[in-house]
Copies of this chain bind each other. A is one copy, B any other.
Amino acid sequence: MYRTHTCGALRMEHVGNRVTLTGWVQRIRELGGMTFITLRDRYGITQLVFDEHAPKAVTDLLPELGREFIIRVSGQVRERSSKNPAMPTGDIEVSPDEMEVVNRSELPPFLIENETDGGEELRMRYRYLDLRRQVLRDNMMLRHRMAQEIRTYLDQHAFVEVETPFLIKSTPEGARDFVVPSRMNPGEFYALPQSPQTFKQLLMIGGYDRYFQIVRCFRDEDLRADRQPEFTQLDCEMAFVDQEDVLNTFEGLAKHLFQVVAHYDYQDRFPRITYDDAIGLYGTDKPDLRFGMKIADITREVQGQGFKVFDQAEYIGGICAQGCADYSRKQLDQLTEFVQRPQVGAKGLVYVKYNSDGSFKSSVDKFFDPDRFQQWARLMNAQPGDLMLILAGAREQTLSALGMLRLEMGSRLGLRDPEKFAPAWIVDFPLFEWDPDQQRYTAMHHPFTSPKDEDVGLIDKDPANMRANAYDFVINGVEIGGGSVRIHTREMQEKMFEALGISKSEAQEQFGFLLNAFRYGAPPHGGIAFGFDRWCAVMGGSDSIRDYIAFPKNNAGRDLMINSPAPISKEQLRELQIKLANGSDTG
């Protein structure tokens, strides 16, 4: 038997018991003729103490041991003379009278500690060692807890878990598919799903009423730091519902997860913010609501006073940074540099200091008098002591830049509390967005999203102004999920494909099975999909999804540990009846 207890189990009540533990050597310290070893497993750490009473057979082994050796020890549990209240097992220690080396370890390439000396690439190459660090283990445990709680909650709410296929068909709409050549059907390919979207709709048509699945999805995109070619989605769909039914159901789930996973009590109804308001007030459709600092539109109030930059701008807006009236020249220059970065894209920054004595000091003093500044202050809710920051330009870009400046100021002022969760539903998204490259409308959410009943009539004459029954779920400025009430009639779906410039034959070729299914009694239905990796990261207070994926890939889509992707053998290529385009042989 390897152990009677785990390394996290022993307490005062066990004092006097003889126990057996097996685990990894975390640290070895010598102190006053005694040796202390901290022994680690998934469940915790227990201190072993070897003093003058330890048998020689045991102490003789000590010099051999090193970090990450696995040892099995048996001995008495003793009360510690100096207890460690920070450790769950800190009241006790074990005094081994037997010890065995279960497996040896070479010196690991980096420290298995929360603060490690290993660079990211090294840690990814030795991911199995990185995963031993408590920070990563805590992340994986959080992810485990999230998954279990989600399934239990949805099961209790009559959702059925149904597994949908991974070997499906490539559809040109949207991002690139990963494809899988079929050996049994030469020249043909499966595609890996970007989401189970059409299958979950078919399950609604099949009468399953409420469906969910925690499922891997695939997108062959050029990767950004926070994207992975494979990612996990919590995918859900409900029949016979309207938008509020979906929102209320998953608001319940989110509150449950706040409670049980993060011990965060959120009682209020989640705010519902329209897409237009989100853009107008926060400069983004995923606002961080942990703090206010709303954007004020001051276009009308500032124009016509002879300041050309304002007079020529489509839009002028500002935010109020509380208590920042005493910002130095240098601090203001930093902010100007911030907004001028290419990814923010503003031309310059106008500031107005509302000094504590009630006076104003601004970069545009010569164009505006204090009464004007007073008026702006009212619009931006500025008080004496505050700093007003103003950007001007094309509406969309300026709002976006103000949104980023708002986040920057939120961070500088410590308003983005990592212990706080501020959820929101963003609703009333546009149905279409114009793609200038392709010179056509594309679906903002996806082509199965239904328009608002009252906007259906616009589809032929003014599609740009149609709103969708679509919604996003946002926490702390991070988009966690999105969904919609779907189209459920063949007629509407065909109109939608038409508006998207997808021909009848293309539609039939790609989605014929769904259009056909609509013929046989399709129920009204809607759903949502959550980015599970990201939801876990946000619940753990992190913005890196990689730290919440056991075996992630790097930015080139490579798994550095197993060294994948890799060439395959000529034999494999021959069997699949494909060739490499560059003609070179592999394997």
The contact string, 1 if C-beta is below 8 Å from chain B, for chain A 543-563, is: 000000111010011110111
Scan residues 215-234 of chain A and give those whose CB is less than 8 A from a CB of chain B: 216, 218, 220, 222-223, 229-230, 232
Contacts of A558 in B (CB 8 A): 185
- Alpha-carbon distance A185/B566, docked complex (angstroms): 8
Smallest Cβ-Cβ distance to A125: which chain B residue = B513
Contact B128 A203 (CB under 8 A): yes
- Alpha-carbon distance A197/B143, docked complex (angstroms): 21
The contact string, 1 if C-beta is below 8 Å from chain B, for chain A 128-172, is: 110110000100110110011001100100001111111111101
Contact B581 A577 (CB under 8 A): yes
Contacts of A179 in B (CB 8 A): 180-181, 568, 572, 576
Scan residues 180-228 of chain A and give those whose CB is less than 8 A from a CB of chain B: 180-192, 198-199, 202-203, 205-209, 216, 218, 220, 222-223
- Alpha-carbon distance A69/B519, docked complex (angstroms): 10
Smallest Cβ-Cβ distance to A154: which chain B residue = B148
Contact A581 B579 (CB under 8 A): yes
Contact A161 B148 (CB under 8 A): yes
Q: What is the interface residue range for chain A against chain B?
A: 35 or more
Task: Answer yes or no: A105 CB below 8 A from chain B CBs.
Answer: yes
Contact A128 B42 (CB under 8 A): no
How many protomers of this protein does the assembly include?
Answer: 2
Contacts of A103 in B (CB 8 A): 488-489, 521-524
Contact B205 A163 (CB under 8 A): no
Task: Answer yes or no: A584 CB below 8 A from chain B CBs.
Answer: yes
Smallest Cβ-Cβ distance to A205: which chain B residue = B128
Task: Answer yes or no: A578 CB below 8 A from chain B CBs.
Answer: yes
Task: Answer yes or no: A372 CB below 8 A from chain B CBs.
Answer: no
Smallest Cβ-Cβ distance to A196: which chain B residue = B551
Q: If the complex has contacts A103-B489, A137-B207, A216-B163, are A572 and B170 also in contact, measured as CB distance less than 8 A?
A: yes
- Alpha-carbon distance A582/B169, docked complex (angstroms): 21
Contacts of A489 in B (CB 8 A): 103
Contacts of A363 in B (CB 8 A): none
Contact B550 A163 (CB under 8 A): yes
Contact B132 A565 (CB under 8 A): no
* Interchain residue pairs with CB less than 8 A apart (28): A24-B521, A40-B207, A102-B524, A103-B521, A104-B521, A106-B520, A128-B202, A129-B520, A143-B161, A143-B162, A144-B155, A148-B161, A163-B216, A163-B549, A165-B230, A167-B565, A169-B559, A178-B180, A178-B190, A179-B180, A184-B223, A187-B582, A189-B566, A189-B567, A190-B564, A198-B562, A216-B216, A513-B563
What 7 additional pairs, Cβ within 8 angstroms, besides A68-B520, A190-B564, A574-B581? A42-B209, A127-B206, A167-B557, A180-B180, A180-B192, A186-B582, A187-B582
